[in-house]
Amino acid sequence: MIGLGRGGLELPRQRVGVSRWRRFRARFDWPLFLAVLAIAGVGLLNLYSATHGTRHAVKFDQQVVRMIIGVAVFYVATFVDYRNLVRIAWFALGFTILALFVVTLIGDLGMAKGSQRWLAAGPVRLQPSELVKLAVILVLAKMAQDHETSPMTWAQVAPRLAVLIIPVLLIAMQPDLGSSILVVMIIVSIGFLCVRNLWPLVGVTVVGLMFIPVLWENMHAYQRQRVLAFLDPSTDPTGSGWHTRQSIFAVGSGRMTGKGFMEGTQNQFDFLPEHWTDFPFSVWAEEWGFLGSIVLLGVFAFLLFWIVSVALAARERAGAIICIGVAAMFFWHMVVNIAMVLGVAPVVGVTLPFISYGGSSLITCFFAVGLVSSISLRRHGF
């Protein structure tokens, strides 16, 4: 029955709930979600091949649980209005900076071979550097929203950029050069794609490039060894050049159609180090070949294209910048990881989104796509 409320007719709550659920299903971004599920499914298939029958087999079960949690996080992020997250962007960045300080003091040394990157609480481990990427994207969206009608002056931009550099430096000190570079690339990508006047950003970029010699002098010895091994893997083929050489062998041996599922020798005989985290693309290329690699890259390309299309259709500038930031995050993760696998970039420990084993990275990726889904949903007025 229809009851009379203070404002007149009042529909039964059950019918209102059903109507809202139908509107959600009709306006939910299914292509985005299905593309993510496809890549995540490839990740699980690849991880099973990389760990089955070894002492690392438990990693597959752990990743399945993380995938389920990730899908739940995706739906939570979809239902939450992204504009509420933009409002608290600076608080989110402050929280991640605080977490990075705590990592520096009491971080877990056991998971990254001497690097302090994780906060551990029993079985739960959190890598704050992954959360920094999302916080930085939200802060940049907040800056654009606050100055949508009047462009920011250099005097306004400079102190905000200085704050954004703090987490970059803290991540580099862990040391985690790969993640710190990725945060910088996200900032630069959003800047070049979204600001009206590029010249100040060009100046900042040039000044940053001038500090590369200073960065080299302050790098850890193993980091310099990785760069030198990238330039010439044959100088230390059984040491710092081992990862790159074995990865190139794995990719090349896959040829056109691959050796078949769980038939890759570099993978199955454990010649390829860290092939469930840093080098999962090598496993995939060896077993599924050039054609399988093209298919996987094609799904990634579709995901990036779709995120950019959501940015173009966003109702607000803040939503568009969040989408551009998420697309940039995925793009640079893919480029750096695959370039590392192919031997055209140094080994810096950057994950491949939804494919590499790991909790913090996977949950961050699902949350990032959930933000895009939230923006897509609300462009229809949901």
- Is residue 73, in this structure, part of any structural domain at all? yes
Among the listed residues 145, 36, 30, the one whose alpha carbon sits nearest the alpha carbon of residue 376: 30
Query: pLDDT class for 308, splitting at 50, 70, 90?
Result: very high
Quick check: 78 pLDDT over 60? yes
Quick check: 123 pLDDT over 80? no
- Is residue 201, in this structure, part of any structural domain at all? yes
Sign, CA dihedral 69-75-77-80, equals negative
Residues 92-115: tens digit of each pLDDT: 999 999 999 888 887 655 555 556
pTM for this predicted structure: 0.86
- Is residue 4, in this structure, part of any structural domain at all? no
Q: How far is CA 231 from the centre of its chain?
A: 26
Average pLDDT of the chain, as a whole number: 82
- Is residue 210, in this structure, part of any structural domain at all? yes
Query: pLDDT class for 346, splitting at 50, 70, 90?
Result: confident
What are the two backbone dihedrals, phi and then psi, of residue 172, each rounded to the nearest 5 degrees?
-65, -30
- In the chain, the number of structural domains is 1
pLDDT of residue 325: 96
Give the span between the Cα atoms of 195 and 152, in whole angstroms: 10
Q: How far is CA 85 from the centre of its chain?
A: 18
Q: For residues 172-196, give the mean pLDDT.
A: 84
Question: What percentage of the chain reaches a pLDDT higher than 70?
Answer: 76
- Is residue 149, in this structure, part of any structural domain at all? no
What is the extent of the structural domain holding 286?
31-80+186-378
Quick check: 378 pLDDT over 70? yes
pLDDT of residue 1: 40
Give the span between the Cα atoms of 297 and 308, in whole angstroms: 16
- Is residue 270, in this structure, part of any structural domain at all? yes
pLDDT of residue 5: 47
Give the span between the Cα atoms of 30 and 8, in whole angstroms: 37
- Is residue 23, in this structure, part of any structural domain at all? no
- Is residue 365, in this structure, part of any structural domain at all? yes
